[in-house]
A and B are shown apart, each in its own frame.
Chain A
Amino acid sequence: MNRHIRLTLLLAAALGIMSILQSCMKWDYGDTDEEFAIPPRGLFITNEGNYQYGNATLSFYDPESTTVENGIFFRANGYKLGDVGQSMTIHDGKGWIVVNNSHVIFSINTTTLKEVGRIENFTAARYIHFVNNRKAYVTQLWDNRIFIIDPTTYTITGYITVPGMEAGTGSTEQMVQDGKYVYCNCWSYQNRIIKIDTETDRVVDDLTVGIQPVSIALDRYGKLWALTDGGYAGSPYGYEAPTICRIDIATFTIEQRYTMQLGEAPSKLQLNGAGDTLYWINGGIWRMPVTSTSLPAEPFIPSRQTIYYGLTISPETGDVYIADAIDYQQQGIVYRYSPTGTLLDQFYVGIIPGAFCWKE
Chain B
Amino acid sequence: MAALPKRIIKETERLVSDPVPGITAIPSEDNLRYFEVTIDGPNHSPYADGVFNLELYLPDDYPMCAPKVRFLTKIYHPNIDKLGRICLDVLKDNWSPALQIRTILLSIQALLGAPNPDDPLANDVADDWKKDEKRAIEIAKEWTLKYATKKD
A binds B: no
B residues bordering A, Cβ < 8 Å? none
A residues bordering B, Cβ < 8 Å? none
